A and B are shown apart, each in its own frame.
Chain A
Amino acid sequence: MIALSSRTRRALLIAAVAGASLGLLAFTTWLLALDRQVRTRFAGARWALPAQVYATPTLLYPGAPLSRKDFTGELERLGYRLGQRAGGPGSYAVQRRRVEVHTRPFMFWDGLQAPARLVVDFDDRRVAEIYDPEARVGRTLWRLDPLLIGSIYPKAGEDRVLVRLAEVPPLLPAALIHVEDRSFESHFGLDPRAIVRASWANLRAGRAVQGGSTITQQLVRNFFLTLERSWTRKINEAFMALLLEAHYSKPEILEAYLNEVHLGQDGGRAIHGFGLASQFYFKKPLPELQPQEIALLIALVKGPSYYNPRRNPERARERRDLVLGMLAGAGLLEAEEYQAAVKRPLGVVGDGGGNAAATYPAFVDLVKRQLVGHYPEQDLTHEGLRIFTTLDPRAQEALEKRLMQGLPALEKGRRMKPGTLEGAGVITSVEDGKVLALVGGREVRYPGFNRALDARRPIGSLAKPFVYLAALMQPQRYNLATTLQDEPVEIESPPGTPWAPQNYDRQAHGPVPLFTALAQSYNLATVHLGLEVGVSNVREILRAAGMLDDPPALPSLLLGAVELAPLEVAQLYGTLAASGYLTPLLAIREVTTADGQPLTRYPLRVRQALPEAPVFLLNWALEQVVESGTATSARTHVPPDVRLAGKTGTTDDLRDSWFAGYGADRVAVIWIGRDDNQPAGLTGASGALQIWAPLMRDLAVKSFSPDPPPGIETVLADPATGLRADGNCAGAVALPYVEGHVPQDYSPCAGWRSPFDWFRRRRSN
């Protein structure tokens, strides 16, 4: 031993103490940094929740226009289980015209809808009766839980559905602990015995076959997902696990894990947590999962990509069965339960759009745009807001089906290359302006160019009704029988540029009644009429009906030289369908916080924008479009007693094919064209109408038969002269007129009526 002087010894001691202090300081700083990091992230795991977007709930009530088939389709979409009997929330059974359903509880904006066992009887197309056998009462109104149609998650792509530990099936945490971390309840973040055990196993196998990570460590790893396998990372991870255990209780850590763990991938969307995974793989909420389904999710913890049940079903099944065996061995499953579960298929449904985030991308896009102005991005992606929308899944399905089948059929019929045509469509409700369905392109599941909102195209003849309305709003000058001149027209517009529009058939039809000119969509008569009433007048009426654009008041506007998207057209035609009352279209009804506190309602706003009586006359003429005009082919699709109103639209060189129309309760707008804006070779009637008409049948649209509002008189008129007619006049039509503006003079075809009449005729001659 070397003897040291006391001075040296003291110096060494000081150095050692200083070094230790410095080391301690550095260690503490590092630990504090880790601590802040992990705590921030932990809070984030509990609170960074994407907004949840829901469709409109199905309402059950006696008389609801819902067939048994519609209803079971709805239950299927919602992931209800079909069984011999309805057993537990989210299940149903079918017997002929009766469905027994056990509904799920759901927290709506205005309170909780409790679960209930209901017996629902149907007649041919409607709900006949709803009976609650437990309460022994008939029910007048019941809301089903709404379909989750998407979530709004940040660009980085973490999506989740928050679950609470108290609400998950007890088997899940028990099984998770048993499979992943048996001493979770007792360890302090790390499990030395598990580490030794795993190291021994890995050493014997010569490769990594077992992990010794606790749930706490795994949680930390999920917080900072990286594939890096360095010692630094492992040490950081271990200390963070210790810190987490120091700060939070076991249940808190377990709950965070349940919501954080990565369980799959859907394109750019990472599936985090068991709540979302349950929707993603099984299309139902976590509490409804059966043992084999829980086992599959737990199997996925080990490697969501390697065991991806959609891509590698055998591997997933093997691992699931292994997990089931472990659960049975631990007594978490009874022997019979195990036998039953292990026989069951994987039960994964859908194509990965399990929670429908990708199911209705065009509609969810509209919802996002409506929200962006109202909420900061951070709130939408982190606050777990619940957004209740107006989407009607049945209407949406009908629209998608018609477009997906209709476009290939049109291409085939015209020998076009498949994929040439694009299309978009919108369905809205007439009186309350709800957007019920929206399709932005023929690939309905792929988010991308949303033509329903962004493909702004010239509307062509869809503008004509507003020209005629401008005229009919001057009842002293115009009525439905007014004779218009369908004669060639040439004007300079803009000055110096001659403009000579033509009719579609390149003929001039001479004098025609006003309603026929609209029904047959004559361009020349429309231009003459529009110039008489004034182009700026027409533009004002378009704007009153809801057009936000302010196009120049050039004569070409009369023939639709204004570019609008299908949704905007739906707004305009919705105002006509609602007798001149404008309701700004809405896609969202309510927004609540994650725990159901109401935040915002988007109430129905209505404003009388156009006078009712002239709109009634216009609608009469738009019915003639379908009855006897350019859209008669629609008649072959809809029942004879259902009357519809609408208008075809075709643009130059057949680039755009439009149809916009309505029954009493639904407005639908269809656009077909090409993305490169080349001629599509379709008129409004040969293209869009062929999708619109069968769609109206699918929707079982109510007949458009408004009874005349006050201020309307109906009299027989002779379309040839525009004068009054009687039974002697061949081709006389019963026409509505604005009160006080019924023509007094009779057509020559009418019989002699009274001395006064004789006198009047003399006078007018």
Chain B
Amino acid sequence: VRGLEIAIRLVQTPPLQLKPAAPLALLLAGVLAACAPARREAPLPPPPPRPAEAPPASPYGVQRDGEYPRSAEAVSGPAVLALLEQARQALAAGRPEQAVASLETALGIEPRNPFVWQLLAGAHLAQRLPDQAESKARRSNSLARGNPWIEVENWRLIAAARQDRGDLAGARQAWEKQAELQARLPD
């Protein structure tokens, strides 16, 4: 039973996790499913009763092709990209205040863009505002809808913020989380 549950969970998660062991588990799942009694329902949660209730997938999460967008360029409008670029330049020039202003304008345009929240976290880190850096990286994570490319960077930022605050145990946890995500990323 346990093996079946694990297999089911793997089937449910996006194909990013297709590490060598996964095809085996998939195979196992298929075999087990075939062995189950004929009346058995599909194990996945049934679709919602009304099609209107299915929310459109977040552009930042997994896409139809099973891939996650890796960079802001893939999912942001030209205005937000221009502001992100302004912010990067301001950061590079050591003017995080100005970067924050550009990024807040960008949030007015695409308030749920996790890449914008992420760069904002970076700007706060440069301002030595670790609490805000962590909060914004978390908000980015919560909007990333499981996008590991976004999450891995957010955990790096969270770790750095905690370190800056002197919370070394917290920083270590965040680094571990970051490393774990990093290991899952394809090259």
Give residues in A with beta carbon < 8 Å to B: 59, 61-64, 109-110, 140-141, 429-432, 434, 579, 581, 589-590, 601, 603-608, 612, 640-641, 643, 664-665, 705-707, 709-710, 713-716, 726-727, 732-734, 751-756
Contacts and interface: CB of A to CB of B under 8 A. Distances in A.
Interface in B62-88: 77-79, 81-83
B111 A431 contact: yes
B36 to A, nearest CB: 6
B1 A753 contact: no
A59 B40 contact: no
B78 A62 contact: yes
Contacts of B108: 59, 429, 432, 434
Nearest to A60: B79
A558 B32 CA distance: 50
A431 B77 contact: no
Contacts of B105: 59
B104 A140 contact: no
Contact of B135 (A607, A713, A727, A753): A607
B20 interface: no
Contacts of B104: 432, 589, 603-604
B49 A604 contact: no
A1 B96 CA distance: 93
Nearest to A108: B101
B6 to A, nearest CB: 15
A747 to B, nearest CB: 13
Contacts of A727: 41, 46
21 contacts: A59-B105, A59-B108, A59-B109, A61-B77, A62-B77, A140-B79, A140-B81, A141-B82, A429-B108, A431-B107, A432-B104, A432-B107, A581-B139, A601-B100, A601-B101, A606-B132, A608-B135, A707-B57, A734-B46, A734-B48, A751-B41
A640 B51 CA distance: 12
A59 B77 CA distance: 14
Interface string B27-39: 0000000001101
B99 to A, nearest CB: 11
Contacts of B52: 640-641, 643
Contacts of A715: 45-46
Contacts of A734: 45-49, 53
Interface of B: 1, 36-37, 39-41, 45-49, 52-53, 55-58, 61, 77-79, 81-83, 97-98, 100-102, 104-105, 107-109, 111-112, 120, 131-132, 135-136, 138-139, 142, 145-146
Contact of A726 (B46, B55, B79): B46
Nearest to A61: B79
A754 B138 contact: no
A448 to B, nearest CB: 31
B45 A716 contact: yes
Main secondary structure of the interface of B (DSSP, over half): helix
A430 B108 CA distance: 10
A141 B40 contact: no
Contacts of A641: 52
Nearest to B113: A431
A710 B111 CA distance: 19
Nearest to A434: B108
B45 A63 contact: no
B36 A754 contact: yes
A608 B109 contact: no
B139 A606 contact: yes
Contacts of A726: 41, 46
A753 B40 contact: yes
A251 to B, nearest CB: 36
Contact of B136 (A606, A664, A705): A606
Contact of A429 (B61, B111, B120, B136): B111
A664 B41 contact: no
Q: Nearest 3 pairs between A and B by C-beta?
A: A61-B79, A431-B111, A705-B55
A121 to B, nearest CB: 15
Contacts of B41: 726-727, 751, 753
Contacts of A64: 79, 109
B82 A140 contact: yes
A613 to B, nearest CB: 10
B93 to A, nearest CB: 13
B17 to A, nearest CB: 14
A61 B108 CA distance: 12
A589 B56 CA distance: 33
A673 to B, nearest CB: 32
B135 A733 contact: no
A563 B37 CA distance: 59
A715 B42 CA distance: 12
B55 A707 contact: yes
A140 B111 contact: no
B36 A732 contact: no
A51 B183 CA distance: 55
Contact of A754 (B37, B48, B78, B109): B37
Contacts of B40: 753-754
B98 to A, nearest CB: 6
Contacts of B139: 581, 606, 608
B78 A140 contact: yes
A589 B45 CA distance: 45
Contact of A732 (B49, B79, B81, B109): B49
B101 A63 contact: no
Contacts of B77: 61-63
B45 A608 contact: no
A90 to B, nearest CB: 23
A608 B40 CA distance: 42
Given A603-B132, A606-B136, A752-B39, 18 more contacts: A59-B79, A59-B109, A61-B79, A140-B82, A141-B78, A432-B111, A590-B101, A601-B100, A604-B104, A604-B107, A608-B135, A707-B61, A714-B45, A716-B45, A727-B41, A751-B39, A751-B41, A754-B37
Given A59-B105, A110-B101, A606 B111 contact: no
Given A432-B111, A734-B46, A710 B146 contact: yes
A601 B79 contact: no
Contacts of A589: 104
A141 B102 CA distance: 12
A666 B56 CA distance: 19
A590 B102 CA distance: 13
Contact of A665 (B82, B111, B120, B135): B111
A174 to B, nearest CB: 41
A110 B58 contact: no
Central interface residue in B57, B97, B101, B146, by most chain A CB within 10 Å: B101
Nearest to A733: B49
Given A140-B82, A141-B83, A734-B47, A755 B111 contact: no
B151 to A, nearest CB: 9
A678 to B, nearest CB: 41
Contacts of A713: 45
